[in-house]
Amino acid sequence: MATDKHYEVIIIGTGAGGGTLAYHLAPSGKRILLLERGGYLPREKDNWDARAVFVESKYRAKEAWLDKDGNPFHPGVQYYVGGNTKVYGAALLRFRERDFGEVGHHGGVSPAWPLSYTDFEPYYTKAERLYHVHGQRGADPTEGPASAPYSYPPVSHEPRIQELCDDFRRLGHHPFPLPLGILLDEEDGKALHNSACVRCPAFDGFPCLVNGKADAQVICVDPALEHSNVELLTAAYVERLETSPSGREVTKVIVRRKGAVEEYAADIVVVACGAINSAALLLRSANGKHPGGLANSSDVVGRHYMRHNCSAFMAISRDPNPTVFQKTLALNDFYFRSDDWEYPLGEIQMLGKTDGEMLKGEAPGWAIWKPEFALDFMAEHSIDFWLQSEDLPHPDNRVTLNPHGQIVLSIQENNLEGHQRLKAKLEAILTEIGLHDVLMPRALYLGKNIPIGGTAHQAGTVRFGRDPKTSALDVNCKAHDLDNLYVVDASFFVSIAAVNPSLTIMANALRVGDHLLDRLGATGDSK
């Protein structure tokens, strides 16, 4: 049965982009509808069960996408209220100032954004405050200027990580507390009685059973829904967007929900489905006026897919590593260059602590490689690292649809030399400070066991820019080709830098939110 409902704003997707935008617009009093294909992530013991989360992939989307040769794979995406932030590691870093300009890499050029760090800075500050980012200004030598200190102190290191930090410093490096979005109040390294987060080992890649993680549902969607002008429909899969005969306005949002097709309409339609699904939705919505897909006269929709060159490693320490909450340290000393190389290498962060169950899930590879180590012993002695380097936006790294409407993801890895060198740098440092001299790859984190399935940091498929010939969105993230269509998720990225993407997605949602409030003649959240 078709329903016909008109809103002032429809936001499709409730993750880092859509959820943050909803929060910002909610106080305006405008009628806002959130359409989310998932439901609420169930709160249950399995949220913190490494086997359920990493080995059985309990919370991952069950759908299959295809690689460029037509082979199916299961992408690392989760469809819930809050989107992928329900499981993210909440490392919330700003792009560096230089990341907004053109940066030369060994593998090519990382293109300039149409806006600068200065344009984003006020929104970074707001997003950090909103998402309870705990950090320390000035500790990371590569960070840009900030208009305010962090509102929350850095998450404290446990003794083994403090020791690692001291070792890094002794060698002349500049480790810094990893900025984390977390609802933690602590004293002497212990969560206070009224802290939502209890500093458990399940921070990174797990959902939080006690809502201690600053995710988009907890921080933005739930508070937005306290406003009577905001509605949320879950299990509402947006199939396609229809336009007026001129093609200039989206006039209908076609939703599949509980087996029925429903239609909604709005003055402004915002797509925030995540970079791959947003591109897919625009491509699915092709019509006579937009034969290559909506907003795609430039033919860039779906192209320039990026997702970082990244890897997870564990180093085996001679001493046990009893750390519970390990993800507190990062190093950017090789972000733009190293002493022996003129190109960017990337960022080093700590990972959540390896657990014996996770290793058992990866066992076959390990068993061949290091049969002499018991997996539990390794987990007890491991120190775990996340290495992240920039991949470059290539037009042939892209999302398309096959004739059945299935998502096809074509990727050719690029700019890998910097990443290899980053790993070598970390290995050299760890050897110098007496850790085991081999870094062992961790496969299950972020779907690294199937490289193409590692879609956690997906970005860039509906890029913004000033030239309608080379970008799909203008600088306000409005489609060049349409008057009422916006895209406010990771799709708008022109390049991906080597820091985690979410803070930039959130800051941009607040920035676009200000533009939309102006357009609607309204005021919204002013925090």
Q: Minimal CA–CA distance to 479: which of 458, 495, 462?
A: 462
3-state secondary structure 300-353: CCCCCCECCEEEEEEEECCCCCCCCCCCCEEECCCCCCECCECCCCCEEEECCC
Sheet bearing 309-316, strands edge to edge: 176-177, 329-331, 347-350, 382-389, 309-316, 440-442
Give 255 or 379: the residue with its C-beta nearer to ligand FAD. 255
Per CB under 6 A, the segment of 208-216, 246-254, 433-441, 497-505 that binds ligand SF4 is 208-216
What are the distances in angstroms from CA 430 to CA 167, 215, 301, 485? 9, 33, 43, 50
Please check whether residue 384 is in contact with residue 487, taking contact to mean a CB–CB distance below 8 angstroms: no
Q: Which of 115, 210, 233, 286 binds ligand SF4 (CB under 6 A)?
A: 210
Per CB under 6 A, the segment of 169-177, 191-199, 339-347, 432-440 that binds ligand SF4 is 191-199
Give 177 or 453: the residue with its C-beta nearer to ligand SF4. 177
State the binding partner of 199 from ligand SF4, ligand FAD, none, CB within 5 to 8 A by kind. ligand SF4
Q: How many CB atoms lie within 10 A of CB 360?
A: 15
Give 121 or 357: the residue with its C-beta nearer to ligand SF4. 357
- d(C-alpha 344, C-alpha 222), whole Å: 39
State the binding partner of 13 from ligand FAD, ligand SF4, none, CB within 5 to 8 A by kind. ligand FAD
Q: What share of the chain is helix, strand, coil (3-state, %, to 5)?
A: 25, 25, 50
State the binding partner of 457 from ligand SF4, ligand FAD, none, CB within 5 to 8 A by kind. ligand FAD
**Residues 313-352: x where in contact with ligand SF4 by CB under 6 A, - otherwise, as a string:** ------------x---------------------------
Length of the chain: 527
**Residue 8 exposure: Cα atoms within 13 Å on the Cβ side:** 16
Regarding 92 and contact with ligand SF4 (CB under 6 A), the answer is no
Instruction: State the nearest-atom distance from the C-beta of 192 to ligand SF4, in Å.
Output: 13
**How would you label 298-329 residue by residue, b for 16+ Cβ within 10 Å and e otherwise?**
bebbbbbbbbbbbbbbbbbbeeebebebbbbb
34, β-bridge pairs: 11, 232
Q: Which of 86, 213, 240, 421 binds ligand SF4 (CB under 6 A)?
A: 213
State the binding partner of 399 from ligand SF4, ligand FAD, none, CB within 5 to 8 A by kind. none
Q: Which of 30, 37, 105, 199 binds ligand SF4 (CB under 6 A)?
A: 199
Regarding 197 and contact with ligand SF4 (CB under 6 A), the answer is yes
Instruction: State the nearest-atom distance from the C-beta of 424 to ligand FAD, in Å.
Output: 24
Q: Quick one: tokens of 66?
A: 């295809």
Name the closest residue to ligand FAD (Cβ): 15
Regarding 480 and contact with ligand SF4 (CB under 6 A), the answer is no
Please check whether residue 409 is in contact with residue 66, taking contact to mean a CB–CB distance below 8 angstroms: yes
CB contact set of 399 (below 8 Å; sequence gap of 6+) = 275, 276, 279, 280, 283, 302, 305, 407, 408, 409, 461
Instruction: State the nearest-atom distance from the C-beta of 183 to ligand SF4, in Å.
Output: 7
Give 27 or 181: the residue with its C-beta nearer to ligand SF4. 181
- d(C-alpha 302, C-alpha 62), whole Å: 22
Q: Which residues bind ligand FAD (CB under 6 A)?
A: 12-18, 35-38, 76, 79-80, 83-85, 87-92, 205, 236-238, 272-275, 277, 281, 446, 456-457, 489-490, 500-502, 505
Give the largest Cα separation in the chain, rounded.
Answer: 69
Instruction: State the nearest-atom distance from the C-beta of 214 to ligand SF4, in Å.
Output: 8
Q: Which of 198, 235, 408, 520 binds ligand SF4 (CB under 6 A)?
A: 198
Q: Which of 23, 206, 486, 493 binds ligand SF4 (CB under 6 A)?
A: 206
Give 330 or 379: the residue with its C-beta nearer to ligand FAD. 330
State the binding partner of 208 from ligand FAD, ligand SF4, none, CB within 5 to 8 A by kind. ligand SF4
Please check whether residue 301 is in contact with residue 137, taking contact to mean a CB–CB distance below 8 angstroms: no
Give 180 or 255: the residue with its C-beta nearer to ligand SF4. 180
Give 115 or 210: the residue with its C-beta nearer to ligand SF4. 210
Q: How many CB atoms lie within 10 A of CB 286?
A: 16
- d(C-alpha 350, C-alpha 161), whole Å: 9
Q: Which of 26, 34, 202, 345 binds ligand SF4 (CB under 6 A)?
A: 202
Per CB under 6 A, the segment of 159-167, 210-218, 294-302, 415-423 that binds ligand SF4 is 210-218
Per DSSP bridges, beta strands 260-271 and 4-12 are parallel
- d(C-alpha 146, C-alpha 126), whole Å: 11
Report the interface residues with ligand SF4, using CB under 6 A. 182, 197-200, 202-203, 206, 208, 210, 212-213, 325
